[in-house]
Amino acid sequence: MSDDSTFVLTGLQLVIMGDVEADAPDGSIGFTRDSYWSEKKQATIVSETIPSAASNNVASEKLRNLLMTICLDYPFWNDFRILDFFNKRSISMTMEELRDLRRECGIERREDVCLELMRLYFNNEIELDKKQVQFIERLNPAFRDRDFLADRPGELLVYECVFFRRLNKMFYLHLVFDLFNGYAFGKVSRRCSGEIGLKLLQEKIVPFYQSRGYEIHGILHSVKSTRDHWEAEEAKIKDSIIAMGIEWLEPKHEFGIIQRFQRDFLDSFFSNAEALDVSLLMIQPAFDRWMIKYNAFCPFHQRRNLLGFADELESTGRISLEAKCN
């Protein structure tokens, strides 16, 4: 089919053009990334009401491609905004028809759009703009760690001391995550002391990796822990960590794996603890038991999936917190 062919849709004409920008002066929108579709064409909308031709398969595909373009280029647009865009350009469509069209395109939910954007990015088919990155990271904070990819367990661990107030008490949670497989370790404390994190590393984490034939290569210090009061604590443990043959790195980065853990699981753990009236002395044993179940969903020898916008635990139901701890 030639480049100047015209496709008829309900309430509009689509004219296949050459290079139409996403934000053209006339308000039209085009296929801004050729890699979105197998047919590398671009389109602009001409306001001209013409008879319906819903049976036109080619025209229907062009409409699906247009919808896909809008959803990928403008991921924050909701269905009302998209429907308004269509209706203002004489594309007669109801909300139900729009949702059916989204279902046909495989982008029924915003999570589907997120997954498609990540797939295209990891396949080197597109470069993400600022809005697309913000959209992905909002749904999937783990995407923020895409520049910190490890090749084996223990190559890169990230450490952060998190402050929170629950059960009418102030707590610090010393968290260590493996950026390769997502394995997590944690120590609940009433103090922020870096020596607690060091003890966790020496007595639990290092032996854990050694028993599996791995050495810990480097520890990344999360940016959230780099507050003024933490500098003295960092000085206490930095030399000890280096003396163990482990690099101490400060990338000044906020790690998504920690944000995701706090948002999706840590809050629910303490909510359950409050509901079950777990005593202060039982918090650490309960947390240890809960972490065993959490890590069961992170195969030690398997790279974690940065494409996932929702953790596997969410699809299998929340982990129950047992009030009784041995």
Percent of the chain with pLDDT over 70: 71
What is d(CA 246, CA 230) in angstroms, rounded to the nearest whole number?
Answer: 20
- The reported pLDDT for the residue numbered 71 is 94
226 vs 69, higher pLDDT: 69
Query: Nearest Cα to 180, choosing from 206, 154, 160?
Result: 154
What is d(CA 238, CA 229) in angstroms, rounded to the nearest whole number?
Answer: 15
- The reported pLDDT for the residue numbered 58 is 62
154 within 8 A of 216, measured Cβ to Cβ: yes
Task: For domain 143-315, give its CATH number from 3.40.50.1360, 3.30.420.10, 3.20.20.100, 3.30.56.10.
Answer: 3.30.420.10
- The reported pLDDT for the residue numbered 227 is 54
Percent of the chain with pLDDT over 90: 33
pLDDT tens for 34-88 read 334 333 333 333 333 333 434 466 668 888 899 999 999 999 999 999 999 998 8
17 within 8 A of 42, measured Cβ to Cβ: yes
What is the secondary structure of 203-238 as a DSSP string?
Answer: IIIHHHHHTTT----EEEE-GGG-SHHHHHHHHHHH
The predicted model gives 218-232 an average pLDDT of 68
Listed in sequence order, the residues at least 6 apart from 302 whose beta carbon sits closer than 8 Å to its beta carbon are 181
pLDDT tens for 275-297 read 777 776 788 888 888 888 889 88
Q: What is the pTM of this model?
A: 0.68
Beta strands in the chain (DSSP E): 6-9, 12-17, 42-46, 156-166, 169-178, 184-189, 218-221, 247-249
| Range in 143-147, 213-217, 262-266, 309-313 the model is least confident about | 309-313
The predicted model gives 238-267 an average pLDDT of 85
Give the phi and the psi of residue 125 in degrees, each rounded to 5: -95, -25
Query: Nearest Cα to 70, choosing from 50, 54, 93?
Result: 93
Q: How many residues does the chain have?
A: 326
Residue 127 in this model has a pLDDT that exceeds 50:
yes
325 within 8 A of 281, measured Cβ to Cβ: no
Place of tokens 């190559």: 155
Give the phi and the psi of residue 186 in degrees, each rounded to 5: -150, 150
The ranges of the chain annotated as CATH 3.30.420.10 are 143-315
251 vs 121, higher pLDDT: 121
